[in-house]
Amino acid sequence: MTKERLYLFDTTLRDGAQTSGVDFSLEDKILIAKTLDELGIDYVEGGYPGANPTDTAFFSKRRDYANATFTSFGMTKRAGRSTANDPGLQGVLQGEADAVCLVGKAWDFHVRVALAISNEENLQSIAQSVGAVCESGREALIDCEHFFDGFKANPDYALACARTAFEAGARWVVLCDTNGGTLPHEIAEIVATVRETVPGDHLGIHTHNDTENAVANTFAAVRAGVRQIQGTINGIGERCGNANLISIIATLMLKSYYAERFEIGLTPERLARLTHVSRLLDEILNRAPNRQAAYVGESAFATKAGIHASAIIKNPDTYEHVAPEAVGNERRLLVGDQAGKSNILAALGQLGIDVEKDDPRVARLLAEVKEREAIGYAYEGADASFELLARRLLGDVPKYFSVDSFRVMVEKRHNAKGERVTVSEASVKVFINGGDDGAAPLWSVAEGNGPVNALDQALRTDLGRYQKYIEHVELVDYKVRILTGGTEAVTRVLVENRDSRTRERWFTVGVSPNIVDASFEALLDGINYKLYRDGAPPA
């Protein structure tokens, strides 16, 4: 049987950004888009150019991806103006994107109440806006907002909206369950009818999770004939969230009903990155991952000791519906944790480190990682710290310098103008050569807008012979999370550094009961990583 192609459309950076508490920076967007591209997502919707400075900046230059079609979001033009005179639509058309996904009304109730225009005017807006996107040489998609509610209220009009967009040249007509209230059997019935107007290989599905059916609704639509799936990583999104692409991808590839009929842009190797991608997004959002998330949660393949565990050791198929390694997750048992080892080997492989699987250093690294994770470290969002840890254990990383001591002072006082100000000052005492040969310490003092910034400044002031390696390093982002798992709270800090010339970015982690100490550890890893990457000679 030849397989049909299903297309995955990720809207984490647009619809997902509607989640309360979620605010992506430009750097976040760049990283997430690249990650989605590498995973094998077909369309990455990056935001709404012209709507806010971050999205405008994101679309201000061409971003080339290996797999993904870089897509912007916009709205159909307002009635009573031409497409050329609609600032919103023009803002979108000025952005650098390969495709544009426009949202258009498909429910006559909304047309009447929200837009206060005639049904016919709305159809014209759809036709002309889609036409303008096509004329600009881009692929056009249309999200038919409230399509299912619209269809229930006035099927002829909802269908007319879909048909109008398709005939105007939309590559995809996406049926949206915008308020998330539709159930799977309704989705199946309605999609079957819509297919008589727009062919299934031009139809998409966009669902929300307000009845906990977003993923089920997506599959109902696929079975009924749609061939594009919209969703977000981890199902983030407004209210109860969007359809979770993580679960959808795993089901499409691992469940025979779908795997036999469809193919997507992922290979089994890419699928094995799914857990990493899911947790990376949580790290970027500074959220604790959902332990019970399907496929990728920490508990998804956890089994308590007892008859289940011993049966799983004999044959995992006894209790597991899929193999955890397939999605890059691991089996958690109290005994015989072999999966952990294969994960470590895979991570080393990704860094280009080739070691035999029976090399005792692999077991040592695994033990070290587990021990560190138990006290709060997380390496999903801190690749550079993981690489340093691994390479140190393998004996690859020279000792460049050692920090003898540091001190931070935070003072609230009156300045010369009599205003109350808070001043942070840090000093750091560093030995190059480890101080063994009697070399004098390098002692640096700096002020900063906060204790961590002051420490960072002090550390970068004078690293002696290594100074030239860190001249272009800058701290881009800094995230703090208080972990309250054990008896006392622990702080985990994630630091993102960048080389301002090469644009290379790397992420490090520090953990301590003390926030300044945790930050300092992450800062040190950031500098050591740079020295290692640039081949700085040992002290």
- Per-position DSSP letters for 159-193, written without gaps between them: HHHHHHHHHTT-SEEEEEETTS---HHHHHHHHHH
Mutual angle of helices 451-461 and 515-533, in 10-degree steps: 30
Q: Could you tell me the smallest distance in angstroms from the CB atom of residue 179 to Zn ion?
A: 9
Q: What is the DSSP letter of 40?
A: T
Q: Could you tell me the smallest distance in angstroms from the CB atom of residue 18 to Zn ion?
A: 8
Q: Nearer Cβ to Zn ion, position 15 or 149?
A: 15
Q: Could you tell me the smallest distance in angstroms from the CB atom of residue 231 to Zn ion?
A: 10
| Residues near Zn ion, by CB under 5 A | 15
Q: Nearer Cβ to Zn ion, position 15 or 139?
A: 15
Give the whole-angstrom CA distance, residue 277 versus residue 271.
10
Q: Nearer Cβ to Zn ion, position 129 or 242?
A: 242
Give the whole-angstrom CA distance, residue 455 versus residue 449.
10
Q: Nearer Cβ to Zn ion, position 15 or 325?
A: 15
Q: Nearer Cβ to Zn ion, position 99 or 300?
A: 99
Q: Could you tell me the smallest distance in angstroms from the CB atom of residue 478 to Zn ion?
A: 31
Q: Could you tell me the smallest distance in angstroms from the CB atom of residue 207 to Zn ion?
A: 8
Strands 420-432 and 442-448 come out as: antiparallel
Position closest to Zn ion via CB: 15
Q: Nearer Cβ to Zn ion, position 232 or 512?
A: 232
Give the whole-angstrom CA distance, residue 390 versus residue 343.
13
Q: Could you tell me the smallest distance in angstroms from the CB atom of residue 178 to Zn ion?
A: 6
Q: Could you tell me the smallest distance in angstroms from the CB atom of residue 234 to Zn ion?
A: 15
Alpha helices, H only, 204-255: 214-224, 245-254
The b/e string for 164-178 (b: 16+ C-beta within 10 A; e otherwise) is bbbebebbbbbbbbb
Strands 473-483 and 203-207 come out as: unpaired
Give the whole-angstrom CA distance, residue 526 versus residue 420.
34
Q: Nearer Cβ to Zn ion, position 15 or 499?
A: 15
Q: Could you tell me the smallest distance in angstroms from the CB atom of residue 93 to Zn ion?
A: 22
Do residues 275 and 249 touch, judged by C-beta distance below 8 A?
A: no
Q: Nearer Cβ to Zn ion, position 207 or 508?
A: 207
Mutual angle of helices 26-39 and 274-285, in 10-degree steps: 170
Q: What is the DSSP letter of 466?
A: G
